[in-house]
Amino acid sequence: MTPAPAYSPGLEGIVAGETGISSVADGLRYRGYEVPDLAEHCNFDEVAYLLLHGDLPNKSQLAQFQTRVHAARRLTQPIRDLLKGLPKGTPPLDALRSSVSALAHFDQDTTDNSHEANLRKAERLLAQLPVAICDHYHYSRGEQVVAARQDLGQSANFLWMLRGTEPKPEDVKALDVSLILYAEHEFNASTFAARTIVSTESDLHSAITGAIGALKGRLHGGANEKIMDILKPIGTADKAEKWVRDALAKKERIMGFGHRVYKTGDVRAGILKKYAAEACARINEAKWEEIAEIIETVMANEKKMYPNLDWPAGRLYYAMGLEIPIYTPIFAMSRITGWSAHVIEQLDHNRLIRPRAIYTGPELRSVKPVAERG
């Protein structure tokens, strides 16, 4: 009898491939650069170039990259009609997923899986996702869409399209840092889904559509939308400790804490915490940070669990006045860079991803005639 293969639920700890895109072994790095260093010294446009093209751009490369991306900030009329015609109440992430799938029909490189074609498609999706998010946002409210600008980086242009007003520098910087931190994270669920899809020699748009589907779940990208659902009912800092202890006693899951890889804390959460605190202070709502700090302390002392990136991101976006249903789409418009980089890497060195399973069903049985079945 063939011995059963080793089994790890959820593939925890299983090495499923090789990648030169990011590493989580000794702190998060993108192509060898430490993420805190990138967050401090780069903008998201530079990091997007790094993930897609392999290294940080020089001044000329960055300008050319931005020119290409800015020129692609548009949707065809059929995509706009699709977004406008979606049922009222369609979740923004679902609208984004449908947009990416439909965009495949209008991209001249859809069926070309060469390295160069996939880079072109990736740059176009980097430009198109923010437009789709903002257009659906306005259509769902019966408003006119705001046209993209060619003179703004990704973060500033997104805030411009969303609000129709000149973005504040402090908001642009905070959003930019969050996009850098969300951009890539090795073989997470959505990235692995994308690599699995494209390993069949499918196309980049199909892989990204599947990745967005994986991102939707609250155990992955949806968690940042749940943070204010925790903080708002608590209301004031004096109620925070009792709330978290009661939740722990009931064995309730507290979103924004714990990580499959990081057991002693997520470095990204520490970086973004400062920006969340500053944003809350700007709107005179420091209470959210006070409540969050108490919850963090109790979770660390009682459960040895620490915040992940979603914990400060939910607070930051709320303090910036962004509506909660677009938090996960913001995650997606950042992670499109990491997803695309992994799709390209997978296709450059492809092997079909086909794991095995341990069978737990009935033992061998013979088929009886239908009249003899009980």
Residue 126 covered by a domain: yes
For residue 368, the model assigns a pLDDT of 95
**Is residue 288 a part of any domain in this protein?**
yes
Contact status, residue 255 vs residue 305, Cβ threshold 8 Å: no
Rg (CA), the chain: 22
User: What is the Cα 26 distance to its own chain's centre?
Assistant: 22
Per-residue pLDDT of 50-105, as tens digits, reads 999 999 999 999 999 999 999 999 999 999 999 999 999 999 999 999 999 999 99
Pair (247, 334) in one structural domain: no
Same domain? For 307 and 231 the reply is: yes
CB 341 within 8 A of CB 21: yes
Instruction: Tell me: do 144 and 214 sit in the same domain.
Output: yes
| Distance, CA of 113 to CA of 131 (rounded, Å) | 25
- The confidence score (pLDDT) of residue 217 equals 87
Among 80-89, 201-210, 221-230, 287-296, the least confident range = 221-230
Does the annotation mark 259 as catalytic? yes
Question: 107, 176, 266, 310: which is the annotated catalytic residue?
Answer: 310
In whole angstroms, give the CA distance from residue 237 to residue 65.
46
- In this structure, is residue 259 part of a structural domain? yes
Same domain, 189 and 74: yes
Residue 184: pLDDT above 70?
Answer: yes
Domain span holding position 131: 36-220+327-348
Q: Is the pLDDT of residue 2 over 60?
A: no
Note whether 340 and 295 are same-domain residues: no
Helix H segments across the chain?
35-41, 44-53, 59-71, 77-85, 92-103, 115-139, 154-163, 169-182, 189-198, 204-215, 227-234, 240-249, 267-282, 287-303, 310-319, 327-348
Q: Does 243 lie in the same domain as 209?
A: no
Q: Is 55 in the active site?
A: no
Residue 180 lies in a domain: yes
| Residue 253 and residue 112 share a domain | no
User: Is residue 329 a contact partner of residue 177, using CB atoms and an 8 Å limit?
Assistant: no
The enclosing domain of 120 has a CATH number of 1.10.580.10
Mean pLDDT, residues 242-255: 92
Angle between helices 115-139 and 77-85 (to 10 degrees): 40
Most distant CA atoms of the chain, gap in Å:
78
CATH code of 268's domain? 1.10.230.10
User: 113 and 229 share a domain?
Assistant: no
- 281 shares a domain with 157: no
Label residue 101 exposed, middle or buried (CB < 10 Å: 0-12, 13-18, 19+): middle
Query: CA nearest 4: which of 353, 357, 354, 355?
Result: 357
Whether residue 4 has pLDDT greater than 70: no
Same domain, 72 and 127: yes
Please classify residue 138 by burial: count the beta carbons closer than 10 Å to its beta carbon, then call 0-12 exposed, 13-18 middle and 19+ buried: middle
Q: Encode pLDDT of 144-164 as tens digits.
A: 999 999 999 999 999 999 999
Model confidence at 359: pLDDT above 60: yes
Burial (CB < 10 A; 0-12, 13-18, 19+), residue 355, is: exposed
Q: Please report whether residue 193 resides in a domain.
A: yes
Question: Into how many domains does the chain fold?
Answer: 2
The pLDDT mean for the chain works out to 94
Q: Which of 109, 259, 266, 342 is catalytic?
A: 259
Distance CA 279, CA 289 (A): 10
Query: What does the alpha-carbon distance between residue 272 and residue 187 come to, in Å, rounded to a whole number?
Result: 22
User: Do 192 and 231 have their domain in common?
Assistant: no
In a domain, 230, yes or no: yes
Q: What is the spatial distance between Cα 339 and Cα 205, in angstroms, rounded to a whole number?
A: 11
Report how far apart, in Å, the C-alpha atoms of 179 and of each of 47, 187, 202, 234, 290 are: 9, 18, 27, 28, 24
Residues 188 and 265 occupy one common structural domain:
no
Confidence of residue 17 (pLDDT cuts 50, 70, 90): confident
| Residue 3 lies inside a defined structural domain of this protein | no
pLDDT at 252 over 70: yes
Residue 23: inside a domain: no
